[in-house]
Each structure stands twice: as structure tokens, then as C-alpha cells.
Homo-oligomer: A and B are copies of this chain.
Amino acid sequence: MKRLIAVDWGTSSLRAALLETDGRVIEERSLPRGILTVAAGGFPSVLDTACGDWMRSDATLTLISGMAGSRQGWIEAPYCPCPAGFADISARLAWVEPGRIAIVPGLSCEQHGAPDVMRGEETQVFGALDLLGMSDAVMVLPGTHSKWVRVNGGRIQQFSTFMTGEFYALLRQHSILARTLPPDDGELDEPAFRRGIEHALRSASLLQTAFSARTLSLFDRLPAASLPSYLSGLVIGEELRVQDLSGLAGPLVVIGSAVLTRRYELALQVLGVKARAVGSEATWRGLWAIARTLEGNA
């Protein structure tokens, strides 16, 4: 089996890891070279900058997940429609160089007459399932565009995107609230965050609750320094409000950075829902599992 170069190539950054044949991470790197920074035709040289040394040193396989497979990416890896399992994505890799560099396809689904899509999260989901030894789960992957994913029998049945992180940034930076909020978010103020969660859960729309960040400040009922945490609670609480978590058999799986998974764990406590956090290792594990399959087929 070859060593694996695992690449998570998103919109705003590129993360890469060199993995030993047994899945152990030898080295990790991160570059601010998301696909939006790459001109047409520039993908090979950016990949070479990121991990050319790894690619030259040994017989390696490079597997890439994320937006590099989108229409604006390196080559387009068409979406697999849901329900989709691990076997579906490993069978539909888009090969940049046969046997050497491939891109993992994203997934699509349909809900209420509108399509939904993910790219990169599918790899994290299958990686997390492998790490946790699970085949049924509800998972959330918080971020700019949070994904909620239902897995049954090892297959992703359905998922939904919530523009939670992006709404936070829009309100934080460009709305009328920006005038009242301090320039830096600072440390998370847990009571203010929880207050935002609770307010969102008993309300019906962020269109309405967002205004409370302004009025609570206006009436000196929340100090300016607590507003970023309160607002974060409002948007994450809005995301949680509309989830159906009644049929959860086990803990909700939260996949993401330590900072974000901590916030979701706190928020889920308010709902009385147990959470289990998985970090960035989910991506490496997912790509390594695909590599193993290729070896098995070879």
C-alpha cells in the first residue's frame, strides 16, 4: 500500500496531511490557498507548493476532498445523489492523474423542492463513522455553512445546509448590530451565549431574535462585551431550534474544530442532548478509508 497524501481543499484554505500506510498522520500542513485564490490552470502548481516534497519522495496516492471538485475547482467531480454510502463516493472518484491524484465527489439531495449540496463533509462523515464504528447517526458539521446529516445503515440518507456561520459574520460585520458590538469577539461569554440559545429556542425566526441584540444593549440589559457571544447563541440556537432530535438513539455527533464543537456541545446541553465531538481527523480517516478500498480493488 502506498502512503496517502490527504488533502482537504476548501473555498478559503487548503489543509493537507501525509499518512502512513496504517492511517497514522506523519505530518500536517495548512495553506491559505482555498480554491477562490487559485486561477484557472493553477491547481497543479498550488498542490505542488503544498505537498510537492511528499509527492516526490515516495510512491504516493493523493486524494482530495472539498471544493476542489466543484465547477470552480480543479476538475468537476459530479455530485452523487443521496442516499449515498461510502462505496458510492469511492467508486466515483474524479481522477486528475489515473492512479495518482483523484478528487472525491460531493453529495446532493432534494428537500421541499430545492436541491442541497455538500463537498468535503461527506468524507468527514464517512471518516467519523469509521472512527466511531457507527452506521446509524445524526451528525452536525458546524461552520460557515453547517451541515446536518442523517445516516442509516452506513448511508447518508438526507442532509440540510444552514448558513449559520455566514449569517453570524454578516450580522457581526455588516448589520446595524456591528455599531454596538466590540471590535473583537473575545473569549466566549458562556452565560450570554446560553441566553442567546434560549432566546432562539423559544422564538420563531432569526429575523426577529437578531433585533434583541440591539434592544438588550439599548436598555443596558446586556453589556457590549457580551453581545458577540449572545449573537453566536442566537444563530446557533436558530439552527438547533429547527432540528428534529426526538428520535436520537445515541449521542449527536459533532464534527469540527475544537472551538466550534465546544459551542455546539454547550448549546446541546441546553436542549438536554448528548454530543460526541470528532475533530479534523475525520477527514484524514475518510480519505484513508477510500485509499484502502482502492488498494483492495487493485
Q: Which residues of B contact A202 (CB under 8 A)?
A: 112
Nearest CB in chain B to that of A215: its residue: B115
Whether A122 is near chain B, meaning CB under 8 Å from some CB there, is no
A-side interface residues, number (CB < 8 Å): 43
Given contacts A205-B206, A205-B242, A242-B205, contact A211 B175 (CB under 8 A): no
A residues 89-119 with Cβ under 8 Å of B? 112-117
A residues 204-220 with Cβ under 8 Å of B? 204-212, 215-216, 218-219
A residues 140-170 with Cβ under 8 Å of B? 145, 160-164, 166-167, 170
Give the number of copies in the complex: 2
Whether A221 is near chain B, meaning CB under 8 Å from some CB there, is yes
Nearest CB in chain B to that of A171: its residue: B170
Q: Which residues of B contact A173 (CB under 8 A)?
A: 174
Whether A8 is near chain B, meaning CB under 8 Å from some CB there, is no
Q: Closest Cβ of chain B: how far from A173's Cβ, in Å? A: 8
Whether A2 is near chain B, meaning CB under 8 Å from some CB there, is no
Bound-complex Cα distance A205 to B211 (A): 16
Bound-complex Cα distance A171 to B164 (A): 13
CB pair B207–A115 under 8 Å, yes or no, is no
Q: Which residues of B contact A116 (CB under 8 A)?
A: 211-212, 215
Residue of B114, B176, B203 near A199 (CB, 8 A) is: B114
Residue of B112, B174, B207 near A203 (CB, 8 A) is: B112
Residue of B161, B199, B204, B210 near A208 (CB, 8 A) is: B161
Q: Which residues of B contact A164 (CB under 8 A)?
A: 207
CB pair A238–B205 under 8 Å, yes or no, is yes
Whether A121 is near chain B, meaning CB under 8 Å from some CB there, is no
Whether A50 is near chain B, meaning CB under 8 Å from some CB there, is no
Q: Which residues of B contact A219 (CB under 8 A)?
A: 115
Q: Which residues of B contact A241 (CB under 8 A)?
A: 204-205
CB pair B114–A162 under 8 Å, yes or no, is no
Residue of B113, B163, B239 near A210 (CB, 8 A) is: B163
